[in-house]
Homo-oligomer: A and B are copies of this chain.
Amino acid sequence: MAAARHAPVTAPAAPPALALIELLFFAYRDFVGDADEVLQRYGFGRAHHRVLHFVNRNPGMTVAELLAVLKITKQSLGRVLRDLVEQGFIDARAGTRDRRQRLLHVTERGRGLARELMALQAARIERALAETGPEGAEIATAFLRAMVEPGDRPLVARLVGLDGVAAGG
């Protein structure tokens, strides 16, 4: 068990950036782990979770948009999206304006699962915010937004709904 002997050797007073490198790892590890048990009930993995989440939050999303968000290849996406459609969690309708597009929507079943998973992760975040203090939410949001690659920030802002967007096409 005892590992305290090597703590001070290289990290006598870690600058904030070094601490944050490791805290991001631990926080994300536990954050995504929250969903695992629920996902396993349906034979899904974390990739399914990500797809379901973004489709739930952005109904009418196209496959191309999902690829830009997840930054994976269409083959990787294809597999998990097929699983979700076949098992009735996501519904893909041909676009009306452009019939090549598949506009993705969650079904009632999909919405239920997405909500259950969101609730788990939101609970962890809310507990953490309560421990952090009153400005925690605003500053944590600002920090994480600033961590995103600048070129992706417009897309992220739109998806997350933090800009003052009022309407669309």
Task: State the A residues within 8 Å of B (CB).
Answer: 1-31, 33, 50, 53, 56-62, 64-65, 71, 118, 121-122, 124-129, 131-133, 135-149, 152, 155-156, 158-162, 165-169
A136 touching B142 by the CB < 8 A rule?
yes
Q: Which residue of B lies closest to A145 (CB)?
A: B23
CA distance A14 to B148 in the complex (A): 19
Ranked nearest first, the 4 interchain pairs of A and B with the lowest CB-CB distance are A5-B168, A4-B168, A11-B161, A128-B146
Copies of this chain in its oligomeric complex: 2
B27 touching A24 by the CB < 8 A rule?
yes
A6 touching B168 by the CB < 8 A rule?
yes
Note all chain B residues with C-beta closer than 8 A to A118.
18, 21
Note all chain B residues with C-beta closer than 8 A to A145.
23, 27
Give, as a whole number of angstroms, the nearest-CB distance from A120 to chain B: 10
Note all chain B residues with C-beta closer than 8 A to A26.
144, 147-148, 152, 156
Note all chain B residues with C-beta closer than 8 A to A56.
10
